[in-house]
Amino acid sequence: MNKKLLALVAACSLFLGAGGTYGGMKWKDAKVKENPIEEKQSMNKSSGVSGDLEKIEQAYQLIQKSYVKKVEREQLVQGAIQGMIGTLKDPYSVYMDAATAERFNDSLDSSFDGIGAQVTIEEGKLIIVAPIKNTPAEKAGLKPRDQILKIDGESVEGLDLYEATTKIRGEKGTVVKLEILRKGASKPFELGITREEVPVVSVFSDMKENGNKKIGYIEITSYAEGTAREFTSELNRLEKDGMEGLIIDVRGNPGGMLSSVEDILQQLVTDKKPYVQIEERSGKKNPYFSGLEERKPYPIKVLIDEGSASASEIMAGALQEVEGYDLVGVKSFGKGTVQQAIPLEDGSNIKLTMFKWLTPDGNWIHGKGIEPTIEVEQPEYFHAHSLTVEKELTRDMNSEDVKIAQDLLMSLGYGPGRTDGYFDGQTERAVRAFQSIEKMPVTGKIDQRTAEKLEEVIIKEIQDESNDLQLQVALKSMK
């Protein structure tokens, strides 16, 4: 099959920066029009469209002439479009006004100002898909599946994806305050995050060892315009250095330009099955094949987690179903739709879900995710809650903050004896032991300094590669 896919963007979410990523596709010879809005359609009375538009016109004139306050024409037009899209109840279909669309296009550059995280909306909730590596969001402790309740003290209820991200993004050096509810916690906490310039560097590589075997490691954090080129360069370097196996890490990768995934998959999967299938509204399935005839001479493992979404799932699904490579980790996010951004005459656009994508074997993973072939959970402290101490935690207190502190101490092996939130004698002894080891004043009480040290030690443990159980299993399972 000829290479039809020119630019397929299948991102799960928005970068919390100057704009975001979207899903869209163009084919050289596709039957789907590049811009359906430009098509001339007859709207006669038999279709019912004319009558419906007359009703909208009547409502428009009624509000313009009779509403108690003056209403701007643009406000009504945008409201009508947003209302139609809202009835779809699809978080990935969004209207962008001209200003938002311009910021969105600017955000596809090599960097943007923001906090560096991706979000989506699930059942009306604003959810973190994943923080980007080495960004303010990651440094502040945001985690996949965190729910954003408030932005700078204002509830996000009723906001669409673009309205929410507009409130979060801003100039470098400014601070945004997010109220976060984390899974397993009974109350939310607040994070103040300083916006920075976030470079879109999407590929990191390293040579690791398993015994006397050299194992290449490539992490892909998103699928940007230059990702495939970066991947090819790093892959060639690792092969030249004699790697005998490859680990591809797409944990926390929310997706991006699928043209990048296509170019990567063309190097890794053979032509015996399609690497992806695109299903149209009619149900017609369009398969896309690699031109590769021989598979790589070394084994490949793929690391996935709950933050691996959309284009990352296309990659994982193709590597597993076409070549049988193992997926190591936990179930992925589950986004199986494709959006196309359709420009309107005034510079605004509509990002509309137009297709489903299916795995090589025809599976639709939307809302389900992809199961790993080797399931490995990370240690508990990888999912630890942030500890913020407004007042000193002492013996006989009972609170959510005490519970979080007990969880952190338990994760570090200090044995608080219980994790129900009651600060008893054993918890006090565990705190004393921690303070002694860390060469702090030994009080048995948890003040702000002790809380910060707990989080500092947890972060250090997470960054220690030997504690990354998913990576270690992938390395040890190389044959």
In the predicted model, is pLDDT for residue 152 greater than 50? yes
DSSP helix/strand/coil, 283? coil
Annotated catalytic residue within 93, 205, 222, 339: 339
Known catalytic residue at 290: no
Backbone angles phi, psi at 461, to 5 degrees: -65, -40
Q: CB neighbours (10 Å) of residue 476?
A: 10
In the predicted model, is pLDDT for residue 256 greater than 50? yes
Going from the C-alpha of 259 to that of each of 93, 101, 318, 336, the distances in angstroms are: 20, 21, 14, 16
Annotated catalytic residue within 167, 273, 301, 335: 335
pLDDT at 85: 94
Question: Of 156, 218, 153, 165, which Cα lies nearest the Cα of 191?
Answer: 153
Per-residue DSSP letter, 410: H
CB 129 within 8 A of CB 377: no
Q: Both tokens of residue 118? A: 């991706």
Q: CB neighbours (10 Å) of residue 143?
A: 22
**pLDDT tens digits, 96-117:** 888 777 766 655 455 567 898 8
CB 330 within 8 A of CB 245: no
Known catalytic residue at 335: yes
The pTM of the full predicted model, rounded to 2 decimals, is 0.79
Q: Hey, what domains does the chain have and what are their CATH numbers?
A: 110-199 (2.30.42.10), 203-338+354-379 (3.90.226.10), 382-466 (1.10.101.10)
Annotated catalytic residue within 205, 310, 312, 406: 310
Alpha carbon distance 169, 154 (integer Å) = 15
**pLDDT tens digits, 291-340:** 999 999 999 999 999 989 999 999 999 999 999 999 999 999 999 999 88
CB 103 within 8 A of CB 148: no
The larger pLDDT score, comparing residue 160 to residue 60, is at 60
Q: Which amino acid, 173?
A: G
Residue 48 pLDDT class (50, 70, 90 cuts): low
Alpha carbon distance 221, 309 (integer Å) = 11
In the predicted model, is pLDDT for residue 3 greater than 70? no
Q: Both tokens of residue 290? A: 């690699």
The larger pLDDT score, comparing residue 104 to residue 180, is at 180
Alpha carbon distance 407, 99 (integer Å) = 45
